[in-house]
Amino acid sequence: MAHFDFPLDELESYRPALPEPDDFDAFWQQTLAQQEGFGLAATFDPVPNGLATIDTFDVTFAGYGGHPVRGWFHLPVTRTGPLPVVVEFLGYGSGRGAPHEIRLWADAGYAHFVMDTRGQGADTPDPDPASGDIAAPGFLTRGVLDPLRYYYRRLYTDAVRAVAAARTHPDVDPARVVVTGTSQGGGIALAAAGLVPDLVAAMPDVPFLCHFPRATTITDMPPYDEVTRFVKRHREHAATVARTMAYFDGATLARRANAPTLFSVGLMDRICPPSTVYAAFNHYGAQWDVDQSDKQIQVYPFNDHEGGGTAHEVVKLEWLADQLESSV
C-alpha cells in the first residue's frame, strides 16, 4: 500500500469545480417538502440490552414516503436534564445490528440514535420504485437513471427525518443535535448537515459519496466500481448517470452545511480516496462562509479506509465535548 493520490499540500488546497444542477436546491426543497405530509410517528420502545449503564429503545419513525425506518436509541441510565444527541449513520452494507453493538456516545453521556439503513440492514426494507430498472449489483446504481427514483434520495431523506425523530424524545435537547458516521455513514452525515440548517456539529469520518466524478475514475475499489461497471456496460447512459449523481454528491451538499465540523481522512484510503474527502472538506460551509476555525480534519498518513479507528474516537470525544461546551 502506498500514497496514490495528490500530495498532502495539494490536497489541502484542492477545491475542484463541482457539477451542480441548476435546480439542485429546488430538488431538495421539493423532496423534503413532499415528506411533510407524513407524520414522523416516532416510537421509542424499551428493549433489554444486557447492559447496566445504558437504556436502549427500539425506534421506528416514518422516513421517505412514510416508510418505517428502524433504529436504536441509547441513553445513559444516570441522566439529568435534556441531553445532546448524536445521530449516527452506518457504513455501506451495514444495519443497526444488536442493541448493545454501537453505543460509544451513550457511554460518553450523550443520547445516541443509531439509524438503520434501508435495504442494507435486516430491519428496514426499501420499497424500491426503480426495482425494474437496469442496475449493477449493490446500491449505487439503483434508480440512477432518474434522480427522483435514485436510492440515495430515499436514504438522505431518512437521515433528515432521523434528526427530526431524535428531537422528539423528551430526554433530548433539540438545540444540540450532532451527526456522525463512517464511510457511507460519513457521506450521509454530510448530506444531513447540508439539509438540516441548525445542527450543532458534524463529524464525518473517511466519507464516501463525495466528488463522484473523481471517485469513480481514480479508484476501482468497491463500492465505487459499481458505477464504473454500470457505465462500462451501458455507455449510452454515462451522461445521465453523472447528472443524477450530481444531486447526491456529499461535496456539493457540504457546501450548504453550517455546523462546526471534524473530518477524518486516511491518505492511503483506496475506497474513499483522499482527494474526494478533501473536496468535501475544502468546500464545506462555502455558502455560509463558515469560519475556518470551525473546520478541522484529522489526517492519518499511513492508514487506509480504517482511518484513525479507535484513536480517532478519542479525538472525536474530546472535540465534541469542546464544541458542546462552547455552544451552551
Tell me which residue of 279, 271, 275 sits closest to 306, measured CA to CA. Answer: 271
The CA distances from residue 94 to 119, 201, 214, 326, in Å, are: 9, 23, 25, 33
Q: Which residue has the cell 500500500?
A: 1
Residue pair 277/190 in contact by the 8 Å Cβ criterion? no
User: Can you tell me whether residue 166 is helix, strand or coil?
Assistant: helix
Give the residues across from 297 on adjacent strands: 263
Which is catalytic among the residues 269, 275, 283, 312? Answer: 269
Which is catalytic among the residues 94, 183, 264, 275? Answer: 183
Instruction: Tell me, yes or no, if 269 is annotated catalytic.
Output: yes
Q: Which residue has the cell 480504517?
A: 306
The Cα–Cα gap between 89 and 37 comes to 24
Instruction: Tell me, yes or no, if 283 is annotated catalytic.
Output: no
User: Angle between the 184-195 and 151-167 helix axes, to the nearest 10 degrees?
Assistant: 70
Instruction: Tell me, yes or no, if 211 is annotated catalytic.
Output: no
Number of residues that this document lists for the chain: 328
**Catalytic positions, please?**
183, 269, 305
